[in-house]
């Protein structure tokens, strides 16, 4: 009898475990977690973070597996697609959330299909595991060193040789001047003629030094590396892209679709700052400049009727000459280039600056070193070409990346 009870209880708990496991992987079956991650980062990260509902709260609640216990799948689909319609229908759960968050309306996503929403839910249920980086510190003091170019070393050597030659020349001049009766200029001329070889060598050294200095100066024309202008609003990418984890494409949406990466309009800022009125670094001072530009009354949480909106005059930092053609979408989509490869660690910058030179040589070196990812869906339209070069270790240079016409029409 006792053995039967043990067997019954074992089967009971085994069934519960299987049901629980099944409920945890429902969204894994038949749904694209990677696509869900892309949709979440592009559309949701401005208001939501993954994690505990309260601890990870941004504008909206933190999102984790607990939402599947509180709400049905169909309810989540309806809420994400159009929360306002669900509230107006009298749904009790929708109204409760609406009241809890001070009657703030969640952005509607009517273009999302049911599968799109399910992909997002699959990503929420199975978030990426954060890797902990272990950094070994060998010394308490970090000494920053700058490399000296060969050209600079050559210039220093030539200068020292020139100074040495000039000192020898002066020494000989003083020595001989004391033994001659000619006038000063006659003696100087005679001294030069008697040391003509040394004078020619010194002259060549000076000319060479001038050429080196001139070439270095000319080669820096148009290079704005480390350019760090003051902006009309002290916007911190470190806070937005780093601490808050907002995806670059949420604000710069055309980087994947067009030649230029757009500067977002103030309306994009207001998607969040209609509710977030105080920042962690500057309080209300900088956010108030956005409200002034769009005509937003923070007290009534509404736009001022008849207000003449004004653009925010951002200062452009990364700029290429007019004769150089650069397409953002080509590099982001076909090349799978991350923003940081050209713009530096943007997510760590309080004030954005131009980190790279962005010169022709810099671009050419990148095209020589960058390998082609033939598994990239972009190349699936060229199946025969991909199949032909599948085993080759191709670089951008191998597919015409150094042709003049690619960048200079």
Please report whether residue 182 resides in a domain.
yes
Tokens 């060193």 found at: 145
pLDDT for res 393: 78
Residue after which a domain boundary falls, among 199, 219, 239: 219
Q: Taking a C-beta distance cutoff of 8 angstroms, is the pair 300, 274 a contact?
A: no
Q: What single DSSP character describes residue 303?
A: E
pLDDT for res 28: 47
Tokens 């940081």 found at: 340
Residue after which a domain boundary falls, among 162, 191, 219: 219
Number of H helices and E strands in the chain, helices first, is 19, 2
Q: Are residues 100 and 38 in the same domain?
A: yes
Please report whether residue 363 resides in a domain.
no
Residue after which a domain boundary falls, among 219, 252, 279: 219
Q: Are residues 159 and 75 in the same domain?
A: no
pTM beyond 0.85: the answer is no
Reduced to 3 DSSP states, what percent helix, strand and coil does the chain have, rounded to the nearest 5?
Answer: 55, 0, 45
pLDDT for res 173: 62
Question: For residue 180, what are the contacts with CB-CB under 8 A and spacing of at least 6?
Answer: 187, 190
Alpha helices in 228-319 (DSSP H): 237, 248-251, 266-273, 285-294
Q: Are residues 157 and 95 in the same domain?
A: no
pLDDT for res 367: 93
Q: What single DSSP character describes residue 152?
A: H
- CATH code of the domain containing 95: 1.10.760.10
Tokens 């694209």 found at: 32
Please report whether residue 63 resides in a domain.
yes
Question: pLDDT of the chain along its 409 residues, tens only?
Answer: 444 444 443 444 334 444 444 444 444 456 788 888 888 887 887 788 888 877 777 778 888 878 888 888 898 888 898 888 888 888 888 888 888 887 777 888 888 888 888 888 888 888 776 544 443 433 333 333 344 555 666 667 767 776 776 667 666 666 665 555 556 556 666 766 777 777 788 788 888 888 888 887 887 777 888 999 999 999 999 999 999 889 998 999 899 888 989 899 999 999 999 888 888 888 889 999 999 999 999 888 899 999 999 999 999 999 888 889 999 999 998 888 999 999 999 999 999 999 999 999 999 999 999 988 888 888 777 777 777 776 667 888 888 889 999 899 7
Please report whether residue 43 resides in a domain.
yes
HEC profile of 308-345: CCCCCCCCCCCCCCCCCCCCHHHHHHHCCCCHHHHHCC
Q: Are residues 50 and 105 in the same domain?
A: yes
Tokens 């002290």 found at: 234
Q: Are residues 36 and 115 in the same domain?
A: yes
Handedness of CA 21, 22, 26, 30 (dihedral sign): positive
Range of the domain at 170: 150-219
Q: Are residues 96 and 161 in the same domain?
A: no
Q: Taking a C-beta distance cutoff of 8 angstroms, is the pair 286, 233 a contact?
A: yes
Between the CA of residue 257 and those of 45, 247, 329, 341, what are the distances in Å? 20, 15, 5, 19
Please report whether residue 207 resides in a domain.
yes
Q: Are residues 119 and 163 in the same domain?
A: no
Please report whether residue 180 resides in a domain.
yes
Q: Are residues 107 and 184 in the same domain?
A: no
pLDDT for res 343: 94
Q: Are residues 46 and 118 in the same domain?
A: yes
Q: Are residues 107 and 38 in the same domain?
A: yes
Please report whether residue 335 resides in a domain.
no
**Count: domains in the chain:** 2
Write out the two tokens for 247.
């995806």
Q: Are residues 114 and 160 in the same domain?
A: no
The residues that bridge with 303 in the sheet, in sequence order, are 296
Please report whether residue 121 resides in a domain.
yes
């Amino acid at each position: 009898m006792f053995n039967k009870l043990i067997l019954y209880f074992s089967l009971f708990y085994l069934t519960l475990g299987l049901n629980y496991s099944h409920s945890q992987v429902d969204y894994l079956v038949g749904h694209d977690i990677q696509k869900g991650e892309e949709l979440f980062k592009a559309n949701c990260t401005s208001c939501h973070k993954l994690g505990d509902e309260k601890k990870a709260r941004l504008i909206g609640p933190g999102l984790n597996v607990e939402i599947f216990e509180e709400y049905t799948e169909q309810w989540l689909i309806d809420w994400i697609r159009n929360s306002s319609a669900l509230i107006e229908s009298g749904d009790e759960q929708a109204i409760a959330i609406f009241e809890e968050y001070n009657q703030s309306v969640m952005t509607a996503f009517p273009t999302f299909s049911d599968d799109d929403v399910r992909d997002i839910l699959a990503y929420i249920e199975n978030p990426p595991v954060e890797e902990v980086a272990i950094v070994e510190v060998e010394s308490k003091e970090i000494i920053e060193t700058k490399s000296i170019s060969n050209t600079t070393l050559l210039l220093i050597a030539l200068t020292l040789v020139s100074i040495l030659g000039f000192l020898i020349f002066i020494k000989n001049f003083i020595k001989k001047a004391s033994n001659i009766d000619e006038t000063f200029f006659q003696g100087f001329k005679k001294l030069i003629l008697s040391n003509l070889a040394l004078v020619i060598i010194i002259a060549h050294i000076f000319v060479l030094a001038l050429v080196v200095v001139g070439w270095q100066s000319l080669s820096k024309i148009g290079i704005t590396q480390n350019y760090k202008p003051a902006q009309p609003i002290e916007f911190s990418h470190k806070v937005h892209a780093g601490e808050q984890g907002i995806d670059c494409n949420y604000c710069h949406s055309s980087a994947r679709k067009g030649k230029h990466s757009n500067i977002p309009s103030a309306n994009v800022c207001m998607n969040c700052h209609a509710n977030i009125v105080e920042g962690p670094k500057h309080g209300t001072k900088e956010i108030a400049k956005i409200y002034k530009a769009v005509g937003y009354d923070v007290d009534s949480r509404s736009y001022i009727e008849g207000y003449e909106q004004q653009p925010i005059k951002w200062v452009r930092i990364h700029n290429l000459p007019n004769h150089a053609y650069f397409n953002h979408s080509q590099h982001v989509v076909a090349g799978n280039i991350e923003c940081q490869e050209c713009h530096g660690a943007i997510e760590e910058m309080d004030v954005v600056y131009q980190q790279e030179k962005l010169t022709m040589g810099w671009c050419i070196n990148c095209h020589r070193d960058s390998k082609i990812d033939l598994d990239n869906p972009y190349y699936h339209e060229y199946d025969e070409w991909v199949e032909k070069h599948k085993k080759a270790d191709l670089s951008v240079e191998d597919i015409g990346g150094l042709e003049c016409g690619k960048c200079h029409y």
